[in-house]
Chain A
Amino acid sequence: EDQVTQSPEALRLQEGESSSLNCSYTVSGLRGLFWYRQDPGKGPEFLFTLYSAGEEKEKERLKATLTKKESFLHITAPKPEDSATYLCAVHPMDSSYKLIFGSGTRLLVRP
């Protein structure tokens, strides 16, 4: 069965304290892996798509990486405005247009 697991469920960081969020997945084949940011009371906002192992994408303080079994979202020197829930989703090879979402990691960055 296709599955996506995110860890940790919640993460508290001090401003400037770098860390990583993990997304591990089990799928028969991977078309793509997506990262989203969700602020309270809002819809998920698209961040990155990764398609193959070894690929990396960067945006400001965020860098996403992909291996054959997991993806990491690295946050370098975070700021309070980076506080949000980060969602990971996989697009399995055999699921046509549907994505499978993880439950997310709630990130709180304190000043």
Chain B
Amino acid sequence: NAGVTQTPKFRVLKTGQSMTLLCAQDMNHEYMYWYRQDPGMGLRLIHYSVGEGTTAKGEVPDGYNVSRLKKQNFLLGLESAAPSQTSVYFCASSTYPTYEQYFGPGTRLTVT
């Protein structure tokens, strides 16, 4: 039981490049989330999903897109990376009725 996994662990992009972050969970959780964590700002919700085929905007969705084609996977895309998107990205999943979220190990992204 791996829990929540994220790939890649590190990535460096140049401004304007695109990339996709992959999150996978093996706990059969319905809900999945993408956060970014920046110094002094805590965890901020980018997008989330309440089930396969559904997505919704969180607190800071601009510049990001997501897809959830399979229940166990949640993809975060950056179409045209900007230096402001330099951050650590965490994926999490949760289930009813407890809603406690379980996090992946994170992806450290640098945009130059």
Contact = CB atoms under 8 A, between A and B. Distances in A.
Given A98-B45, A103-B40, A32 B105 contact: no
Which of B41, B58, B94, B100 has the largest number of chain A CB atoms within 10 A?
B100
A46 B99 CA distance: 11
A91 B33 CA distance: 14
B42 A31 contact: no
Interface stretch (A19-27, A37-45, A72-80): A37-45
A43 B48 contact: no
* B interface bracket (residues with beta carbon within 8 Å of A): 20 to 34
A104 B99 contact: no
10 contacts: A34-B100, A41-B106, A43-B105, A44-B90, A91-B99, A98-B33, A98-B45, A102-B42, A103-B42, A104-B42
Interface of A: 31-32, 34, 36, 41-46, 49, 87, 89, 91, 96-99, 101-104
The 9 A-B residue pairs with the shortest CB-CB distance, nearest first, are: A43-B103, A103-B42, A101-B43, A97-B31, A44-B103, A43-B105, A43-B106, A101-B42, A49-B100
